[in-house]
Chains A and B, each alone.
Chain A
């Protein structure tokens, strides 16, 4: 299985400050079609996850532009340019290149 490793696991952030989450995969997520099969999700407290970023760097519909995804191969980053109170929750990366699809452990973002 492809192992997904996130860091940090806990991220206290002051509102208005930037935040960055790292996700590393045990093998490259670059598909032969040129797409990178790495997605980011946010699970707000008491809710199911929802899609933020797909194929490494594409924002999902309705996602604010303060969220951005980058990276390639095995190293990926989710950045929030200016954290807002509504951004609290658990951020999780997921690979869909190879079954079984696998998730990172999750990074809990909290407001200082």
Chain B
């Protein structure tokens, strides 16, 4: 059974870099039909797509983040990561990692991590 688990600091100071890692178990991050994604949800608000990465390293970043986000993948550890620089209070949110199935006849997130709350505060 596929499981995703986010890890990283729960508190980040303004102007610093938020760093999160997602560990994938029960499946390979190197599977060809999947993208690996980061999604966030500010308190009391809706979901926002941060970006996604393929096992080859190709990425998409949401332009709304104004080039502050970088993602990487480590297939040897079955992990992918997110760095978000120059954070402000507006980046306070629950951050989810997820798998996006893009095989034939598919185009959906089919597995989510449990989410991790990251608070930006001094």
Binding site for B on A (CB under 8 A): 31, 35, 37, 39, 41, 47-51, 54-55, 60, 92, 94, 96-97, 99-106
Tell me which of A51, A97, A103, A105 contacts B110 (CB under 8 A): A51
B47 proximity list for chain A (CB < 8 A): 49, 92, 94, 103, 106
Whole-angstrom CA separation of A99 from B62 in the bound complex: 8
**Contacting pair A99 B60 (CB below 8 A):** yes
Q: Find the B residue at minimum CB distance from A36.
A: B107
The dominant DSSP class at the A interface is: loop
**Contacting pair A48 B46 (CB below 8 A):** no
A49 proximity list for chain B (CB < 8 A): 47, 96, 109, 112
**Contacting pair A55 B108 (CB below 8 A):** yes
**Contacting pair A50 B106 (CB below 8 A):** no
Known contacts A101-B49, A103-B46, A105-B46; is-contact A35 B107 (Cβ 8 Å): yes
Whole-angstrom CA separation of A60 from B109 in the bound complex: 11
Tell me which of A35, A97, A100, A103 contacts B63 (CB under 8 A): A100
Whole-angstrom CA separation of A90 from B51 in the bound complex: 23
A97 proximity list for chain B (CB < 8 A): 107
Q: Find the A residue at minimum CB distance from B6.
A: A48
Give the top 3 A-B pairs by smallest Cβ distance, nearest first.
A54-B108, A48-B112, A103-B47
B51 proximity list for chain A (CB < 8 A): 100
**Contacting pair B49 A55 (CB below 8 A):** no
A37 proximity list for chain B (CB < 8 A): 107
Tell me which of A41, A50, A102, A105 contacts B49 (CB under 8 A): A102
